[in-house]
Structure 1
Amino acid sequence: MDPTPLALVALTLGVLLGGGVATLVLIALRARDRARVAASLELPDGTRAVLFGMDEVAVVVDGSLRIVAASPPAELFGMQEESTLPGDELRELVRETRRAEHPETATMRLRRGVELRLVSARASAITPRLTLVVVRDITEHERVEEMRRDFVSNTSHELKTPVGAVTLLAEAIDSAADDPDQVRHFATRLSAEAARLGQLTSRIMSLSRLQSADDLTELRNVSVDEVVAAAIESQSIAADAAGISIVRGGARGAHVRGDVQVLTEAIGNLVANAVAYSPSGSPVGVGVRADDGVVEIAVTDRGIGIPENEQERVFERFYRADQARSRRTGGTGLGLSIVKHAVQRHGGEVELWSRPGRGSTFTVRLPAIEAPDLNGMKTKRRKKKAKKTKKEARAVARAEGEPT
């Protein structure tokens, strides 16, 4: 028998068997490699690049809660590579994620520098040994939401008082229909409550406009003298009734860029507060200073003053340092909040100095601008008026058939 065919058959069987064994070995090696990768602390491909491009705080931690990779913002919360994940609550969140074997989310407070911040943290396993933790700072969001709730609550409360008074006074007028003196008395009080309600509504709308995202639209070169004079004039009746003199001093001729109505209301609110909280016979000063590109408008009184622990809160909506006096004077609790937002919308700031029993000084600082060329403006107006006069004269002449 020829041995050649047998050799070929044997060789073919050997190749087939050898290939099968080789395939099985290769599969086993790949499974082993996958198991090693899963059990190792090696980051999946591209993880560092993704973390580097994130604006949020994000870190990857190993089984011992050691940070193996971190996004740049994570450093603000003290999370650097090779350091231990900070915060007991955050570490417990990672442990819970591993036990539950699915992502977990929790709200907690974490320290950023010396400040505690409210954050929302989410932990997700990316390998059996590595966990991704993403932290989102929600402090400002929570603060805005709290302010919104307070605003709605306070507004409802403040509106309820004059609305209730109007209702009761209307009923009193109806009951006293046969008594003219009583009717006049209740009608006077009704008008006062209606005015208070109108003032409160107007101030709420003003504050809402100032807090909106829209820019101020009525911007022009504004004379500070014009603003101060209008603000003082708006409070002159109240000041005379209280026996208080308003004294204007300081620099003249300063100008700023802004909305004259908004600025006048802001300074008027400061003067109104000074008048309301000053004892009868005392002066209220309004001073202006222009220096180094800044215009300062200071309103000073010799009133009751504001305790130091309340000075940060006086610019909050509806906050009153003296509840009883504010009620008597008909204050809405929105004046200083309007001042703050009005000044900020003009790129400025407002500061307070106060001592109980010695009085208060509110100082508004605004960016100054060069005073406009008034002579040039007057010349332009004269030329424009003369041109208009000539044009009207020609029109009359044509109408009468005279040569122009």
Structure 2
Amino acid sequence: MFESLKAWWGDLTHRRDDGRDAGDDTLDDATNALLSILPLVSIVVDEHDEVVRAHPDAYALGVVRDDAIADDTVARAVHEVRSYGGKRQFDLTTTTLHSPKKAPKAGRPSVREMARQSLMGQSQDKPSTSVSRPNWLKVIVGRLNERFVVVLVSDVSDTVRFSQMRDSFIVNVSEQLLKPTQSLEELADALENDSADREVVKESAAKLRRSCAHMKHMVSDLLLLIKAQEPILPTSDNRINVMEQVQAVADAHRQAARQRGIDIEVNGDGSLEVNGDDEQIQTAIAKLLENAISYSPDGKGATVSVKPDEDSSQVLISVIDRGCGIERKEQSRIFERFYRGGNQNERSVDGVGLGLAIVKHVALTHHGSASVWSAPGQGSTFTLTLPAARG
């Protein structure tokens, strides 16, 4: 793709002087036409460092903000080529924060906060933590003419993410294979030595079973994570009712929750719909609900709430628990792959640390976001925010 980008660049830089007046703020029609069909993100900057033309993705990728170059590396390259000519090409990593579309109005709690306040009987004044996603970009910067500098950006994030996911899969599966292999060797030793102690054989077999179950869980989650990398495009065929997905997940977990005296409450708007993959969305909700059950004390409740945001453009799926809560310093990391927090208990200690990473990627592939509000001793509220279906 970067070679193609440089070829397109050659066509652009042949159009440096069209005889227009030096005070003309516009590009010539041929350059505008060429920029409009480029299979990349283009940005044009004038001599005052003002962005006079930018592809919408330039804002989403964090390169442009408020009609100016937002990234210092790109800004320096623009100044260099304007002063000295030539071109600059480099790799760049930016970060896009995925957070709810609007902040709640002053003095008015958000839907998530209202749901939590209703459950906890307390007011919440701490901010929530939302997920972010890095963007891996290849950039070329060069001068179009005496007045304009063009920035061409190729987003290679999907390729990089897939490569990282593949490497994580190979490394972690290889590491996890060692545990059942070791357990299998112990069981084989006990059988080979014709151990008279039946309990030794039984314990070795149980250990092998736990190791295999743990590895099966991890492989399953990694496969789900890999699947949740491809963006979901809204179509008439993938329109789904959110409450139906929530109810299906809640019903599947009620028995396990009741064994510990935990009641799962589901409430909210049953008419809300989103465009998406029902399997991925159910998986994300299930991961959040499983965490709520695992980290809640016996006899406490868990609530799943489905509400629209203030302008009904987003659907908020909130899972609320009365568990141990999460330290503020850990909240920025809990959506990372394989990260395990410091609040593990006997029910969560065998987890693989991929549940919230799956939630994050399901949110991002559905053009939404995931966030958490939590405080030690006050429980947690995880919210999956998805664009509401239109029409």
The aligned length equals 302
Name the structure 2 match of 1:48: 28
Determine if contact 1:300/1:361 at 8 Å carries over to the other structure. yes
Check if 1:105 corresponds to 2:77: no
One-letter amino acid of the counterpart of residue 353, structure 2 = G
Check if 1:353 corresponds to 2:378: no
Q: Distance in 2 between the 1:350 and 1:69 partners?
A: 34
One-letter amino acid of the counterpart of residue 139, structure 2 = S
Give the TM-score taking structure 1 as reference length: 0.57
Does the C-alpha gap of structure 1 residues 237 and 155 become closer, same or farther in structure 2, counting only changes over 3 Å? farther
Determine if contact 1:123/1:134 at 8 Å carries over to the other structure. yes
Deviation at residue 244 of structure 1 after TM alignment: 4.9
| 2:253 equivalent among 205, 222, 235 | 235
Higher relative contact order (CA 8 A, sep 6+): 2
Q: Distance in 2 between the 1:110 and 1:176 partners?
A: 53
Over the matched positions of the two proteins, sequence identity in percent amounts to 26
One-letter amino acid of the counterpart of residue 262, structure 2 = S
1:158 is paired with a residue of what secondary structure?
A: helix
Check if 1:201 corresponds to 2:201: no
Name the structure 2 match of 1:120: 139
Determine if contact 1:59/1:69 at 8 Å carries over to the other structure. yes
Name the structure 1 match of 2:204: 186
One-letter amino acid of the counterpart of residue 246, structure 1 = D
Determine if contact 1:219/1:259 at 8 Å carries over to the other structure. yes
Name the structure 2 match of 1:170: 184
Q: How does 1:260-271 map to 2 (within 5 A)?
A: 260-271=278-289
Does the C-alpha gap of structure 1 residues 221 and 109 become closer, same or farther in structure 2, counting only changes over 3 Å? closer
| 2:151 equivalent among 112, 135, 139 | 135
Q: Distance in 2 between the 1:87 and 1:368 partners?
A: 38
Q: Distance in 2 between the 1:322 and 1:283 partners?
A: 22
Name the structure 1 match of 2:359: 339
Q: CA RMSD in A?
A: 4.6
Name the structure 2 match of 1:72: 53
1:211 is paired with a residue of what secondary structure?
A: coil
Deviation at residue 164 of structure 1 after TM alignment: 0.8
Structure with higher helix content: 1
Determine if contact 1:255/1:369 at 8 Å carries over to the other structure. no
Which is further off, 152-161 or 174-183? Answer: 152-161
Deviations 1:149-203 (A, max 9, x none): 5434433343233211011111111111123432221222222222222222222
Determine if contact 2:373/2:381 at 8 Å carries over to the other structure. yes
Name the structure 2 match of 1:57: 43
Does the C-alpha gap of structure 1 residues 215 and 205 become closer, same or farther in structure 2, counting only changes over 3 Å? farther
Check if 1:330 corresponds to 2:311: no
Structure 1 unaligned runs (5+)? 1-41, 61-65, 81-85, 98-102, 112-116, 371-404
Check if 1:248 corresponds to 2:272: no
2:221 is paired with a residue of what secondary structure?
A: helix
